[in-house]
Copies of this chain bind each other. A is one copy, B any other.
Amino acid sequence: MPNPISSINNSSVGVVSAQQAFFDEPLTLKSGAVLGQYELAYETYGTLNAQRNNAVLVCHALNASHHVAGYYADKPEEVGWWDNMIGPGKPLDTSRFFVLGVNNLGGCHGSTGPQSINPRTGLPWGGDFPLMTVEDWVNAQARLADRLGIECFAAVMGGSLGGMQCLQWSLSYPQRTLHALVIACAPNLSAQNIAFNEVARQAILTDPDFNEGNYDAHGVKPRRGLRVARMVGHITYLSDDEMANKFGRHLKQEKENYNFDADFEIESYLRYQGDKFARYFDANTYLRITKALDYFDPALAYGGNLALALAPARAAFLVISFSTDWRFAPERSRQIVQALLKNNRDVTYAEIDAPHGHDAFLLEDARYHLLVSAYFERIDRQISP
């Protein structure tokens, strides 16, 4: 396994590079659609040990990717999205664990997705790319694990939508999931969560440049819709208090403009975030990821009984929530914990009193990181010979 570490300091995995894995065994999706062949982009950090039992899969959420830690030699500013969590001596310590990050199918960062060529037509998939589910992603990740010779993950770890993948790993592959770290997550989306996703989707779907998802063939991008979608999403990532602390009612200039330029700093911030996102992210991918979020609901097949749904799980769990997360409130994490306890699972639960809202799972917080660190030490002791 190549281990592209060339640290500049002992807390970064240093220079990393992405790899590609090609699969030509067809993958049947939950929708019934079949992907005849596909590629997955991934990165690894650390070394798979001789027992092949120290692998940790890190699952990404909405707009992230396989680039979890370190940086690229030609783009040193592009630091992995969970670099504060993963590296030598960090909570997920790459000197002990072999870390795997995968860009999910349908993504826009290197794995097969709507921007890829549809081998049947020789043109980009665009709007024809099938809808994905969390279960589909997990199945694709499992095939990559097969390829890498990983029979059982020491841990599967993720926040938000990444946490849903961890839950699904414990259900789809109970024997391959020793621990699941389910962070800032929920057992399914609430009506309000779906509502926000639907607003984002409608902004994109009704952008005149959307062209039923085949915008690339028309030489345009539905950037206006994607921009609004990101703006509304962004509001739900921050807590009300965090927004008040960061922006409050601060005016950009001394006086009100009395026009539709940005009067308040919060307006500029959202516009900036929306513009930035609309430049690099693919609208078709965004639509599909929000749908995967909406569809995730392991309890659905069990009449809404989450405890029944989680019965197949064999993993031990670390569940973490953040007090000011109103997107996936602590109450939602407690539902997961209670359902696991009903199944006599080994569960550690922590509710971190952090002011940052949903985004807290991505931020550096001493208590949060100490907790994850201690949990991985426990895993390390368990898997060490």
Contact = CB atoms under 8 A, between A and B. Distances in A.
Which of A33, A192, A231, A271 gathers most chain B CB within 10 Å? A192
Contacts of A248: 191
Interface string A305-330: 00000000000000000000000000
Chain A interface residue bracket vs B:
35 or more
Interface in A189-219: 189-192, 194-196, 198-199, 201-203, 205-208
A231 B258 contact: no
A246 B190 CA distance: 12
Contacts of A232: 199, 232
A270 B235 contact: no
Contacts of A287: 260
A379 interface: no
A8 B192 CA distance: 40
Which of A188, A191, A244 gathers most chain B CB within 10 Å? A191
Interface string A255-266: 010111011101
B295 A195 contact: no
Contact of A235 (B192, B206, B256): B192
A198 B249 contact: no
A214 to B, nearest CB: 14
B199 A270 contact: yes
Nearest to A203: B228
Which of A203, A263, A264 gathers most chain B CB within 10 Å? A203
A269 to B, nearest CB: 9
Given A199-B232, A199-B270, A266-B194, A297 B249 contact: yes
Q: Determine how many copies of this chain the complex contains.
A: 2
Contact of A249 (B189, B224, B267): B189
B194 A267 contact: yes
Given A203-B228, A206-B228, A258 B33 contact: yes
Nearest to A274: B202
Nearest to A201: B260
A95 to B, nearest CB: 42
Interface string A288-300: 0001001101001
A247 interface: yes
Interface string A18-42: 0000000000000111000000000
Given A206-B224, A258-B131, A188 B270 contact: no
Given A33-B258, A258-B31, A258-B131, A247 B191 contact: yes
A240 interface: yes
Contacts of A224: 206-208
Given A191-B243, A203-B228, A260-B291, 16 more contacts: A31-B258, A192-B244, A194-B266, A195-B243, A195-B266, A198-B266, A198-B267, A199-B228, A199-B235, A199-B270, A202-B270, A202-B271, A206-B224, A208-B224, A263-B294, A263-B295
19 contacts: A33-B258, A130-B258, A131-B259, A188-B249, A190-B244, A191-B249, A191-B264, A191-B266, A192-B238, A192-B244, A195-B270, A199-B232, A199-B235, A202-B228, A208-B208, A228-B228, A256-B295, A263-B295, A264-B294
The 10 lowest CB-CB distance pairs between A and B, nearest first, are A31-B258, A191-B243, A206-B224, A191-B247, A131-B258, A191-B266, A198-B267, A192-B240, A199-B231, A195-B235
